[in-house]
Structure 1
């Protein structure tokens, strides 16, 4: 029918009742945190739950499935023996009710199994455990060992927890005698939740509403920009530019005298230097063995040797003087090829071949 131009449909109440009875023994399975192929999920659940009865598998959306059982006993067995996982990924189960949302992105709460340790014995009852678990969320049911009190080490309870929960790990319990104790909380599986969207469909890091960090230029850098700078570049100036100052002539001479005085103190074995007069250029002494600028040029005739009356005359390269050497004795071996050492510039003689025909 059309009401105010809007098409509307209103089924009779008996149709809704018959439809709700058809899905009475059905579980809604939420695969949180992982998307697996529906055919693989069906194979795993059929192998795990097929032993309690016949079940049918229905895909609602990506990550949401309906598992329909023949009776409530098989459904409750699956609920009591949780938690369940598929290939290591937890699957959250909830009883199908009339009007519940079947979309994971609209799921504000989800069933989570918790383990409560250090529970006082006098509170180990359905009412006492429900009171403690209500701090975490809405208690749904307990597993069979907890209900039968087979072990009092810890209690396992399925709690419907909100996506905004902080998942506390401890509960402070105040007792009737005025004392207090701490009940430890452990989560075998903790679903990823988005605190911004308040759903379990995704985590905060992948939330579309999350604030993204964007790089922005610093105000200081913007202030340094000039119209001539290229895009993305700025001109950087030195903080302390060096300036060259002109030193007076008298200051330079005093600095040289101070430097010479320090050299004499550091090297006392060196001969004292002749002080320079005004207008004269100082002569810098070179290293030992090296000619200085004040030394005379090397005599080009110093390398020639003249044999006179069986003797030899060598020219000193440093001073240009002739040095006479005595002739070798007649009994000398291979006197024609005897090598003489000539005194060189740095005190190391150079070997010269002396021939009697020269």
Structure 2
């Protein structure tokens, strides 16, 4: 039994031989047909986002900065790791004293927000970090931070060789 609030889908036997145009979802919602107007009690309209401007004072801009002062922004070179896997791996690798919030940002960036200064400093200075056999690049967050991937022709690594004989310490 069909619900009166939702129009039934056309069957293949009743479809016209002409090709129908498939619109993006938001445009489909904006088309006014008798069936849709019975479902929605409010009219819908599209508002382009490129005309939107938000204005903030300098005081408002700086007021929220302390909330994020123990934050780092990181990204993985190569394929972006899955959120849950990355969070679990970071917590195991760093053995945190406080809490860590991991927020997903645009373009594969993650915001790591620490509650303990000791954890923040360990993450920032203890690297280089490799998660999922790929370098994980960290940058300090600042109020004017804009996520941007650095293009590295090479990545500097610190290698510790234990018990290397002194006679081999030559160029």
What is the alpha-carbon distance in structure 1 between the residues aligned to residue 124 and residue 154 of structure 2?
Answer: 11
User: What residue in structure 2 maps to residue 88 of structure 1?
Assistant: 133
Say yes or no: does 1:12 pair with 2:43: no
2:112 equivalent in structure 1:
67
Change (3 A) 1:62 1:74: same
Per-residue CA shift, 1:224-270, capped at 9, x if unaligned?
xxxxxxxxxxxxxxxxxxxxxxxxxxxxxxxxxxxxxxxxxxxxxxx
Measure, in 2, the Cα distance between the counterparts of 1:29 and 1:87. Answer: 14
Query: What are the ranges of 5 or more consecutive residues in structure 1 without an aligned counterpart?
Result: 1-5, 118-152, 154-182, 185-358
Task: Specify the SS of the correspondent of 1:35.
Answer: coil
Residues in 1 aligned to 2:153 and 2:103: alpha-carbon distance in whole angstroms: 20
Is residue 72 of structure 2 the alignment partner of residue 24 of structure 1? no
| Among 142, 145, 154, the residue aligned to 1:97 | 142
The correspondence of residues 99-118 of structure 1 with structure 2, limited to 5 A, is 99-104=144-149, 107=150, 112-115=155-158
Match of residue 41 from structure 1: 86
Q: Secondary structure at the match of 1:100?
A: coil
State the alpha-carbon separation in 2 of the partners of residues 112 and 28 from structure 1.
18
Distance 1:92 1:68 in 2: 15
If you compute each CA radius of gyration, which structure gives the higher value, 1 or 2?
1
Higher relative CO (Cα under 8 Å, sequence separation at least 6) belongs to 2
- Give the 3 Å change call, closer, same or farther, for CA 29–9 of structure 1 in structure 2: same
- Per the normalisation by structure 1, the TM-score is 0.28
> Which structure has greater strand proportion?
1
Distance in 1 of aligned mates of 2:102 and 2:80: 17
After TM superposition, the runs of 4+ consecutive aligned structure 1 residues lying more than 3 A away are 107-117
Distance 1:22-1:111 versus aligned 2 partners, 3 A rule: farther
Aligned-partner SS, 2:72: strand
- Count of equivalent residues: 114
Check 1:76–1:23 CA distance in 2 against 1; reply closer, same or farther (3 A cut): same
Shift of 1:93: 0.9
In 2, are the aligned partners of 1:94 and 1:111 still within 8 Å (CA)? no
Task: Give TM-score, length-normalised by structure 2.
Answer: 0.55
Output the CA distance in 2 between the equivalents of 1:115 and 1:36: 24
CA contact (8 A) 2:75 2:110 kept: yes
Q: Matched residues in 2 for 1:35 and 1:7: separation? A: 30
Whole-Å separation in 2 of the counterparts to 1:37 and 1:111: 25
Larger helix percent: 2
- What residue in structure 2 maps to residue 242 of structure 1? none
Stretches of structure 2 that go unaligned for 5 or more consecutive residues are 1-50
The Cα of 1:44 is off from its aligned counterpart by 0.8
Q: CA RMSD in A?
A: 3.2
